[in-house]
Amino acid sequence: MKLAKWAHDLTESLLAESLPRRWAHSQQVYAQALTLAPALGADAELLAAAAIAHDVGYAREAMDTGQHMIDGARYLRDVVGADARLCSIVAFHTSSPWEAAELGLSETLAEFGPAEQGLVDAITYCDLTSSPTGHLVDPAARLVEVLDRYGPEHVVYRAVSAARPELLARVHRVRQRRAEAAQEKIS
């Protein structure tokens, strides 16, 4: 778990003091990623590292475009030299493509593509099952919370509204993949 430890330490240094709620959320996203390890095989540590680091774009040091997914991926790539796959997962997590389109940043997001759908599904699942305060939450309820927090005039509201069916489909695919992995283990 060297990559995950590195990502944990980096993210803690960027978020723990300045954004403690974001840090609590990131820790729960990481915990959720660990539960998916049996279904991910060799990519389990990569997902764990991306999970803990997925919101580093909120850190003052990482802010650039205003889209935290892209900003985090750029910070990881350009400042700390992170693995390209890790940066891609961070860049494409949750509603990133929809938000990038709203902000005119689709070409910028493409710097990190193509996205690996299975890993994007997995990080989206982890993000949507983790509340802003670091507790487990139902994904549908989490989406309602995001919409309520931002309101209809905000880019995040518009992006999440448009992305909602796909985001819930991602959660479903991960749950199915996890169940299949559990069944294989039993067999």
What is the 3-class SS of the chain, one letter each residue? CHHHHHHHHHHHHHHCCCCHHHHHHHHHHHHHHHHCHHHHHHHHHHHHHHHHHCCHHHCCCCCCCCCHHHHHHHHHHHHCCCCHHHHHHHHHCCCHHHHHHHHCCHHHHHHHCCCCHHHHHHHHHHHHCECCCCCECCHHHHHHHHHHHHCCCCHHHHHHHHHHHHHHHHHHHHHHHHHHHHHHHHC
Q: pLDDT band at 51, cuts 50/70/90?
A: very high
Q: Both ends of the chain: CA-CA distance in Å?
A: 28
C-alpha of 129 from chain center: 11
> Residue 88: is its pLDDT beyond 80?
yes
Residues of the chain above pLDDT 90, percent:
96
Q: pLDDT band at 185, cuts 50/70/90?
A: confident
Q: Please give the Cα distance from 118 to 167 (Å, whole number).
A: 13
Q: pLDDT band at 182, cuts 50/70/90?
A: confident
pTM assigned to the model = 0.96
* Among 8-17, 53-62, 160-169, 174-183, the least confident range: 174-183
> Residue 1: is its pLDDT beyond 70?
no
Average pLDDT over residues 62-67: 96
pLDDT of residue 184: 82
Contacts of 19 (CB under 8 A, 6+ apart): 58, 59
Q: pLDDT band at 187, cuts 50/70/90?
A: low
C-alpha distances out from residue 7 to 45, 58, 145, Å: 10, 15, 27
